[in-house]
């Protein structure tokens, strides 16, 4: 059986042969108890053929695909309903019991699975603009260096330390009668005196980071747009987990006309579309949280927002105001606008007001925007991530 690596290698070769890549890294996210969601990394691919599109243009707006049903009732009768806004309470008190011991199992599973994805998402990714802030928590990446010393065996002989050691030994043995006139040829050298440098894992201390993921889940987001945004955020999230070994703190915010914080990535990832769109609410919630918990002092803060660019606040006055506020403390805002293909070359509202407000150029180091098509493939999405964290 072929491995994932071999498949990806094969896929790379497609490009050389002049064909598009075909393998996407898919993820199956399985909810677990106590926030221990499990992300399983699987490759997926689509075999393109001429097929009928499943969209039904004749359908009335707001009406879904009909299906079969059985049971009592008359025509027109409502037989059930499903709330579109997720209800936190219904999921049970999952988040509440999250103790340190409980978290570990999930973490381990995630780590081992995210490994493959992490490898794919080249290790060049790095959070931009990291500054030293407080010392509450260290954000460590590991590097390998010849820092540790070892007696007897090792990679490189540390001559100075070895000589010191030999001298010490010989003094102890009384082998050095006159310290002003040392005859090195008389030295007795024990194998244990040889001191080597060995390769060891070192923590590379960096400042701690807090990442906000914001996602528009308004009605207009249904379908591929959401998939693409979620894809990008799953990759970002997996990469953060992989690269920083879950030392980065993450917060998740969903918004339609109201914003709400959800407790874990699974909820963030899986909640379905709801009502209208007010982008400003999400950014406002970020500001509120940061202020309330006084996070700006101790954390490097990153905000990633995914949307289809639709906003009821057409000129973005409120949104820009909130973003300006965030810009005073944030290390990077990354906004991904995933356009519906029907938009065509027209700019979306969010793109429009972001551009016309000039904040993109004024704070070009702090805020980045990536506009992609809803049909973007993985390589495009990864390129988008690079752009957002460049």
Partner 1 sequence: MELVSQHVKGIMEECKLRAMDHGLTFDDETLEYIVTNRDMIELSPKVMIPTLYDYWVHDVRVLSGKGMYEAYPSNPFETVINTRPAISFYNDNNPDWLNVMIFYHVLGHIDFFQNNLFYKNTWDIDLTGQALSDKRMIAKLRSEKGRWVDYAIEFSRGIDNLVGYHRELNLNILNESKQPLNRTDFYFDIFLQKIKHISHNDYLKEITRYNEGLHNNGDFFNLVINKYPEFEELYRKELLIKRKTELDIMEYIIRNSPFLKEDENEWMKTVMQIVRNTSLYFQPQIRTKIMNEGWASYWHEYLFMRDDRICGHEVDYAKVNAGVTSMPKVGLNPYALGMRLFQHIKDMEDRDCYSFEYALLKDEIGKKKFNKAKASGADYILKVRENFNDFTFINSFIDQEFMTAHNLFVAGKRFNNARMSIEYYIKSKKAEDYKEMLVDTLYHPPEIFVDLSLTKNGVLYLNHKFESKPLKTDYIENTMIGIEYLWGGPVHLETSEPATPGKTAAAYANFWDPASQQTEEKKPEPVKWKRMLYIMENRKLHKREL
Site for partner 1 in 32-61 (CB under 8 A): 38, 40-55, 57-58, 60-61
**Minimal distance, residue 239 CB to partner 1, in Å:** 19
Q: Which is nearer to partner 1, 67 or 185 (CB)?
A: 67
**Minimal distance, residue 27 CB to partner 1, in Å:** 9
H helix or E strand, kind and range, residue 235: helix 224-244
Phi/psi of residue 29, each to 5°? Answer: -105, 120
Q: Which is nearer to partner 1, 64 or 89 (CB)?
A: 64
- Tokens, residue 239: 């990469």
Bridge-based pairing state of the strands 195-206 and 259-262? unpaired
Q: Which residues pair with 126 in a beta bridge?
A: none
Query: 203-207 long-range CB contacts below 8 Å, 24 or more apart?
Result: 203/138, 203/140, 203/141, 203/142, 204/140, 204/141, 204/142, 204/143, 205/138, 205/139, 205/140, 206/130, 206/138, 206/139, 206/140, 206/141, 207/130, 207/131, 207/132, 207/133, 207/134, 207/139, 207/300
Q: Single out the residue of 15, 18, 153, 360 in contact with partner 1 (rule: CB under 8 A).
A: 18
Q: Which residues pair with 140 in a beta bridge?
A: 205
Q: Residues 361-380: x/- map of binding to partner 1 (CB under 8 A)?
A: --------------x-----
Using CB under 8 A as the binding rule, whether residue 87 contacts partner 1 is answered as no
Interface positions, 322-341, toward partner 1 (CB under 8 A): 340-341
Q: In sequence order, which residues have a C-beta less than 8 Å from that of residue 318 and are 6 or more positions away?
A: 278, 280, 284
Using CB under 8 A as the binding rule, whether residue 292 contacts partner 1 is answered as no
Q: Count interface residues toward partner 1 (CB under 8 A).
A: 74
**Minimal distance, residue 386 CB to partner 1, in Å:** 24
Using CB under 8 A as the binding rule, whether residue 4 contacts partner 1 is answered as yes
Using CB under 8 A as the binding rule, whether residue 160 contacts partner 1 is answered as no
Distance CA(388)–CA(370), nearest Å, equals 7
Q: In sequence order, which residues have a C-beta less than 8 Å from that of residue 377 and are 6 or more positions away?
A: 20, 21, 24
**Minimal distance, residue 260 CB to partner 1, in Å:** 13
Using CB under 8 A as the binding rule, whether residue 310 contacts partner 1 is answered as yes
> Residue 233's CB: how many other CB atoms inside 10 A?
24
Bridge-based pairing state of the strands 156-157 and 195-206? antiparallel
The CA-to-CA distance between both ends of the chain, in Å, stands at: 38
Q: Residues 341-360: x/- map of binding to partner 1 (CB under 8 A)?
A: xxxx----------------
Using CB under 8 A as the binding rule, whether residue 89 contacts partner 1 is answered as no
Q: Which is nearer to partner 1, 18 or 99 (CB)?
A: 18
Q: Are 146 and 198 in contact (CB under 8 A)?
A: yes
Q: Using the rule CB under 8 A, give the single segment among 71-79, 230-238, 356-364, 382-390 that binds partner 1.
A: 71-79
Q: Are 267 and 140 in contact (CB under 8 A)?
A: no
Q: Using the rule CB under 8 A, give the single segment among 66-74, 193-201, 237-245, 362-370 that binds partner 1.
A: 66-74
Interface positions, 210-239, toward partner 1 (CB under 8 A): 218-220
Q: Single out the residue of 1, 96, 153, 179 in contact with partner 1 (rule: CB under 8 A).
A: 1
Using CB under 8 A as the binding rule, whether residue 90 contacts partner 1 is answered as no
Using CB under 8 A as the binding rule, whether residue 66 contacts partner 1 is answered as yes
Q: Single out the residue of 275, 318, 363, 383 in contact with partner 1 (rule: CB under 8 A).
A: 275
Q: Which is nearer to partner 1, 111 or 298 (CB)?
A: 111
**Minimal distance, residue 63 CB to partner 1, in Å:** 5
Using CB under 8 A as the binding rule, whether residue 20 contacts partner 1 is answered as yes
Which residue from 344, 345, 335 is spatially nearest to 311, judged by alpha carbons? 335
Using CB under 8 A as the binding rule, whether residue 174 contacts partner 1 is answered as no
Q: Using the rule CB under 8 A, give the single segment among 73-81, 209-217, 230-238, 357-365 that binds partner 1.
A: 73-81
Using CB under 8 A as the binding rule, whether residue 28 contacts partner 1 is answered as yes
């Amino acid at each position: 059986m072929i491995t994932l690596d071999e498949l990806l290698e094969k896929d790379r070769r497609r490009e050389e042969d002049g064909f598009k890549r075909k393998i996407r890294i898919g993820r199956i996210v399985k909810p677990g108890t106590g926030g221990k969601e499990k992300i399983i990394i699987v490759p997926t691919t689509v075999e393109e053929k001429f097929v009928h599109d499943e969209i039904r243009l004749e359908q009335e707006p707001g009406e879904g695909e009909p299906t079969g049903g059985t049971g009592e009732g008359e025509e027109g009768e409502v037989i059930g309903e499903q709330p579109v806004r997720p209800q936190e309470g219904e999921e049970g008190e999952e988040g509440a019991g999250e103790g340190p011991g409980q978290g570990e199992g999930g973490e381990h599973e995630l780590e081992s699975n995210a490994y493959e994805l992490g490898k794919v998402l080249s290790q060049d990714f790095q959070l931009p603009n990291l500054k030293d802030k407080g010392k509450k928590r260290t954000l460590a990446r590991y590097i390998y260096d010849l820092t540790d010393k070892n007696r007897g065996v090792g990679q490189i002989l540390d001559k100075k330390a070895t000589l010191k050691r030999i001298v010490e030994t010989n003094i102890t043995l009384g082998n050095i009668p006159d310290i002003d006139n040392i005859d090195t040829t008389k030295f007795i050298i024990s194998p244990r005196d040889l001191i080597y440098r060995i390769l060891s894992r070192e923590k590379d201390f960096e400042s701690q980071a807090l990442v906000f993921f914001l996602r528009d889940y308004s009605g207009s987001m249904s379908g591929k747009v959401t998939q693409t945004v979620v894809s990008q955020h799953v990759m970002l999230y997996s990469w953060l987990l992989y690269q920083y070994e879950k030392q980065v703190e993450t917060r998740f915010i969903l918004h339609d006309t109201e914003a709400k914080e959800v407790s874990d990535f699974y909820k963030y990832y899986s909640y379905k579309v709801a009502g209208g769109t007010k982008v400003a609410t999400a950014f406002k919630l970020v500001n509120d949280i940061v202020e309330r918990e006084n996070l700006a002092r101790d954390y490097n803060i990153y905000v990633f927002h995914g949307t289809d660019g639709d906003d009821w606040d057409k000129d973005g006055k409120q949104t820009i105001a909130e973003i300006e506020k965030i810009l005073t403390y944030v290390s990077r805002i990354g906004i991904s606008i995933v356009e519906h293909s029907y938009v065509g070359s027209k700019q979306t509202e969010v793109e429009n007001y972001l551009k016309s407000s000039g904040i993109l150029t004024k704070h070009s180091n702090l805020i980045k925007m990536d506009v992609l098509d809803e049909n973007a493939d993985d390589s495009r999405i990864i390129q988008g991530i690079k752009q957002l964290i460049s």
